[in-house]
């Protein structure tokens, strides 16, 4: 077990007796959900040593607004999403995975419904729509469950 092995993920594991754990009820453990962060706005702000005031200044918002977005106390605006992509050079699905996944899932369901309604129609417009809707699954991004 060495720090230098992190990149290859091949660790020698120390024996269980070397760790002191408070035993947990299996019932409690079974009820645990393995959550991922819903937004990476704060992570990226801290990564680049920006204060909430500084990020707010960049985005034309107050530091209080940035705090609320970071704490998920305010729904994300288009301005914040686009500005975050530009400032941090990352895609919206990387910065706001939960929101992106929710939109992507809903959009997929609606696209399937529209495709079903087009069944049996062979006119040019319907074929054109089918081409667009059929391509949506290929344009979705893999987002870890949150």
Partner 1 sequence: MTATASPLYKGLVLAIHPTSRGFGWVLFESPLSPVDWGIASAKVGRNERLLKRFGRLLSHYEPAVLVLEEFEGNGTRRNDRIQRLCREMIHIAASKGMDTPVYRRSHIQICFGSVGAVTRYEIAEVIRQHVDAFSHRMPNKRNRWDSEDARQSLFNAAALALTHFAMNAAP
Answer whether 92's CB lies under 8 Å from 85's CB: yes
Nearer to partner 1 among residue 57 and residue 93 (C-beta): 93
Task: Name the minimum Å distance from CB 117 to partner 1.
Answer: 19
Tell me the C-alpha distance between 7 and 74, whole Å: 37
The encoded tokens of residue 62 equal 């107050």
Q: Where does this chain touch partner 1 (CB under 8 A) — which range of 51-59, 81-89, 103-111, 119-127? A: 103-111
Element at 116 (helix H, strand E): helix 97-118
Tell me the C-alpha distance between 144 and 101, whole Å: 9
Task: Name the minimum Å distance from CB 107 to partner 1.
Answer: 8
The encoded tokens of residue 87 equal 């400032």
Q: How many residues bind partner 1 (CB under 8 A)?
A: 47
Among 71, 82, 86, 132, binds partner 1 (CB under 8 A): 71
Is residue 55 classed exposed, middle or buried when 0-12, 13-18 and 19+ CB atoms within 10 A define those classes?
buried
Using CB under 8 A as the criterion, what x/- string covers residues 12-51 for binding partner 1? Answer: xxx---xxxxx-xx--xx-xxxxxxx--x-xx--xx-x--
Q: Which residues bind to partner 1, rule: CB under 8 A?
A: 1-6, 9, 11-14, 18-22, 24-25, 28-29, 31-37, 40, 42-43, 46-47, 49, 71, 101, 104-105, 107-109, 137, 140-145
């Amino acid at each position: 077990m060495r720090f230098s092995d992190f990149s290859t993920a091949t660790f020698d594991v120390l024996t269980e007796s070397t760790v002191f754990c408070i035993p947990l009820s299996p019932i409690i453990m079974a009820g645990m959900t393995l959550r991922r962060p819903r937004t990476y706005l704060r992570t990226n702000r801290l990564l680049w040593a920006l204060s909430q005031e500084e990020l707010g200044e960049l985005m034309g918002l107050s530091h209080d607004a940035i705090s609320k977005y970071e704490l998920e106390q305010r729904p994300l605006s288009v301005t914040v999403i686009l500005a975050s992509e530009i400032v941090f050079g990352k895609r919206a699905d990387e910065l706001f995975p939960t929101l992106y996944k929710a939109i992507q899932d809903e959009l997929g369901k609606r696209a399937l419904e529209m495709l079903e309604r087009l069944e049996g129609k062979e006119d040019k417009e319907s074929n054109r729509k089918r081409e667009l809707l059929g391509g949506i699954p290929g344009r979705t991004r893999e987002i870890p469950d949150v």
